[in-house]
Structure formats: C-alpha cells, structure tokens
Amino acid sequence: MERFQPHLFEANMNDRNGASKKVKISISEQRRKLKPEDRLIISLDTGSKETLVSLCRRIGGKVSILKIGLELIYNLGFDAINIVRSFGYKIFLDSKLLDIPNTVRGAISGIANLKPYMVTMHTLGGEEMLSAAVAFFKQRVASIRDSLPPLLFGVTVLTSLNDRDLSNIGFRESHLSLVCDLASIARKSGLDGVICSPNEVSIIREKYGDNFYIATPGIRLPEDLLNDQKRVGTPRKAISSGADFIIVGRSITSKKDIGNAIDRFLDEISGEV
C-alpha cells in the first residue's frame, strides 16, 4: 500500500456549550460514521423541472445526497441546485471539470458560491489541474461565509468504457491499470477520493488505504438492464469491496415504487457495513 500524509478536511461541530466550530477530521474517521442512507447517492438524470420536483418528493428523504449532472445543469441551469436543496438534500455536483488549470480555477470561483457537498473533476486533467483546483477551492471557500470546502472526487475511467474502447482511443494499458494510475494522481493532488466502477474498488482500497473515499457508479441489481454501462457490479459487491458511496440512477428513478427500490438498495448496503 502506498503511504500518504493523512488527509484532513473541515467540518462543523458543536462544542460543549452548543457553539458551532470548525474542526479537522480525517477521511478514515468520517468514513466510519457513514450510514446506509449517506452511502446511497441517487442520480437525477432528467432535464425536466417537473420530473425533478417529482423525484425529490418521491425519494422522500430516504437518502441524504442527490447527484446533479450535466443533463440537469444544461437544461435547468443552477436553479436545479436550489430546487434539490429546498427538499433538504445535500448536493453532489457532477461537474466533471476538465480544462487548463486557469479555466478550472475560474469555474471553481462560481461553483464555490453554490456550496455543493461533493464536486467531480476528471483526473485526466493531470496533477497540475487537480492540485490547482484543490488549492483554489480552499482559498475561495475561505472567503464565503458559513462555507466549507466540498469533497472533491476525481473521475477515473467512465463506466461506459471497456478495454476495447480505451484501445480505440489510443490507450495501451487496461482499464484497471489506467484507473489505478489516475487514482494515484488524484491522491497525490490532494483530492478526497475517486469515482471508479465496482470492479476496481478492492485494488484501490488496498493501494490507498482507509483515508481515501471511493464512489462507484455502474451499480446494478442482477435483474437490471445494463443500458450504456459496461463495467458494472451489484451494490453488495461494491460496498464489500470497500466503496463508501454507490451512485444509482435509472435502477431507482425508473421504478414505479421508488421508495421500495431505495429500500432494497439500502438493505444491500446494510448487509455489508
């Protein structure tokens, strides 16, 4: 296992007198406190305001974090964040930042104002881009009242890509090797964690230890359709392999009884934590 300095992040906690104060907590400590409802992140893959509101209501507070991605942002703008937050959910902003460091810094200036709980960026942007993003988020958030740096996640290899796809793009290494290389860059750059498929979780956890978050899309129950995903796994497999968060979209949001679908995923998670 590679050795890194313990990664600390800030959190608001109350002292003995009930006053709020900022304290530094290690990721490994925070990981141990995650409840099943914190671990299941539901992806809101829609471009409709009406559907968004309906989903937020039907999810019914059974989870704490909802993911807002490009489909929502490009159709509804950042008003989507206000809608989701109005229902009491934390925001996972799947921004997938990828550009030269100066441009990413400019984007971060705006993202910080939105106060998301989690933010993503592509690790293919390289160590300079990622390190600049980490530093600028801390700098920018420090100037915003009652704000804490979001958890920063590096997207490794999209779960819609397999070895053949990577070869066609020009990569000579396997998806597993590439994911591990990109996870190393993310860790060295100071990110809080990575996004990878369930199939790479165990080796990343083994290499980088407990002080690093792992979130996994490509989560499917045995009877679910793969759709456009190629590297997938069950929620039980992901959590037992060491994932902290599983990201689920259509396998929940397409169901007639969303509450029942959520309960099934939460039961799968509870069986492994």
In a domain, 52, yes or no: yes
Q: What is the pLDDT of residue 140?
A: 86
DSSP string, 86-112: HTT-EEEEEEEE-S-HHHHHHHHHHHH
Q: Is the pLDDT of residue 6 over 50?
A: no
Identify the CATH number of the domain in which residue 206 sits.
3.20.20.70
Instruction: Look up 96 and say whether it is catalytic.
Output: yes
What proportion of the chain, given as a percentage, has pLDDT over 70?
89
Q: What is the mean pLDDT of residues 220-236?
A: 77
In a domain, 125, yes or no: yes
In a domain, 197, yes or no: yes
Q: How many domains does the chain have?
A: 1
Q: Is the pLDDT of residue 95 over 90?
A: yes
Q: What is the pLDDT of residue 1?
A: 42
Bridge partners for 90 per DSSP: 65
| pLDDT range class, residue 17, cuts 50, 70, 90 | low
Centroid of chain to Cα 226 = 20
Q: Is the pLDDT of residue 7 over 80?
A: no
In a domain, 165, yes or no: yes
What proportion of the chain, given as a percentage, has pLDDT over 90?
70
Q: Is the pLDDT of residue 257 over 90?
A: yes
Structure tokens at 198: 């369930």
Exposed/middle/buried for residue 148 (C-beta within 10 Å: 0-12, 13-18, 19+): middle
In a domain, 96, yes or no: yes
- Gyration radius of the chain over CA positions: 18
What count of residues does the chain have? 273
The range of the structural domain enclosing residue 234 comes to: 33-270
- The set of residues, in sequence order, having a beta carbon less than 8 Å from that of 56 and lying 6+ positions away, is 44, 66, 83, 84, 87, 89
Q: Of the residues 96, 138, 207, 255, which is catalytic?
A: 96
Q: What is the pLDDT of residue 178?
A: 95
Q: Which of 14-18, 100-104, 114-118, 162-166 has the lowest mean pLDDT?
A: 14-18
Handedness of CA 149, 185, 73, 62 (dihedral sign): negative
- d(CA 97, CA 112) in angstroms, rounded, equals 13
Q: Which of 1-15, 30-44, 137-151, 215-229 has the lowest mean pLDDT?
A: 1-15
Q: Which of 4-8, 28-32, 177-181 has the lowest mean pLDDT?
A: 4-8
- d(CA 250, CA 252) in angstroms, rounded, equals 5
Q: What is the pLDDT of residue 26?
A: 85
The whole-model pTM stands at 0.88
